[in-house]
Chain A
Amino acid sequence: MCDTCGCNLTPGNKHLAFKPVAQGATAVSVLKGLLQKNDDQAGHNREHFDKRGVLAINLMSSPGSGKTALLEATLTALKDEFTCAVIEGDLETENDAERIRAKGVQAHQIVTGTACHLDAHLVHDALHHMRLDGVDILFIENVGNLVCPASFDLGQHLNVTLLSVTEGDDKPAKYPVMFRAADAMLLTKTDLLAVLDDFDPDKAEAHLRNLANPAPVMRLSARKDLGMDAWLNWLREQLAAQRARVAIGQSRRPAIQSDGMKYHSVTA
């Protein structure tokens, strides 16, 4: 939208723009996303990915729900099929990037220091350290946190949110902002279900539906190689869909922006 000519004013929001103010003062309507700068950078990142035909996936979850273990198993399974690359986000240490590199896959570690989430600028800086040519899928492993990462677009095409069965099955109800943003929800460590009597996968799925989220729910154990095929097939389908979009000059934003934003973004 445009700030200069007033075309961002509609009958629906005009009342917000004009109100009486004291003399010597003027009220200016802005109606811009608070995180516009981040979103602009995210859009730039997405263009970068689309130009190279890369599918970018943002992995989010609590700390310790198995994001890195899932990546290790996924990269091993796909190593003869696709070229993958990984951006790791953690407050400290290079440990996760080293685990990925041990699989022979390009990885860049973002050390956020104290920041509780990745943002589009951090990812952009990371891209300068990476070779994206020839990469099919870029995984961005966000900082383990079910709150903050949900609010920041990184330029990814898809959000994948993990929920390990050692957590509560009501996590989607407790962290609705995060789980509403998921394009796929993975229930991880399902091999432990046999010894956990308080996690009901169906309930977890029902809580996700209560957030009006139609995302597929896949149950798997990366360590015990259970249920991985559905996840790998989903990745293959998503990469094919990304290639089809790129071929006709289109892109895709993750679930969070697709419905809500069009009601309050005038140009959408």
Chain B
Amino acid sequence: MHELAVAQALVEQVDAVIDQHQAGCATAIRVRIGPLAGVVPELLATAFPLAAAGSRMERAQLEFAHAPIRVRCQTCGAETEAAMNRLICGACGDWHTQIVSGDELLLESVELETSPTPAS
């Protein structure tokens, strides 16, 4: 539901990147969203065209980087993959773990068009 708000924030950020590099438009946008970020990539992909309509990224391709959930155990030190609602250590089963990845909500990179492409 809140993915539209996230899409609008994404458009603002990419807009700033376009300005910063004095580019014409963005052609690809790569984001990394972990399952624990609370944002559903499919819904963001649906909301993005609405937020991007009329902007300099309306033709940009939105790409998602895979971000598996990994936890590091504070008891045994192992780093293991974990399920979204079972963030316990895969080696010793202790729940005193820290998230290493899987909660990211990042704009990783943007591809910009720096010179006009010939009309097709």
Contact = CB atoms under 8 A, between A and B. Distances in A.
Whether A associates with B in a native complex is yes
16 contacts: A16-B65, A26-B112, A27-B110, A28-B110, A29-B108, A30-B108, A31-B107, A34-B9, A34-B13, A34-B106, A36-B9, A176-B36, A177-B36, A207-B85, A260-B103, A263-B99
Interface residues of B, number: 51
Interface of B: 1-2, 5-6, 9-10, 12-13, 17, 20-21, 23, 27-28, 30-31, 33, 36-39, 65, 71, 84-88, 95-117
Interface string A1-37: 0010000000000001101010011111111111111
B100 A147 contact: no
Interface stretch (A111-119, A128-136, A161-169): A111-119
Contact of A27 (B101, B102, B111): B111
B2, B65, B71, B87 pick with most chain A CB within 10 angstroms: B2
SS class of chain B's interface: helix, strand, loop or mixed? Answer: mixed
Contacts, number: 141
Contact of B38 (A115, A147, A209): A147
Contacts of A31: 106-109
Contacts of B106: 31-34, 264
Interface residues of A, number: 47
A25 B98 contact: no
B60 to A, nearest CB: 11
Contacts of A147: 1-2, 38
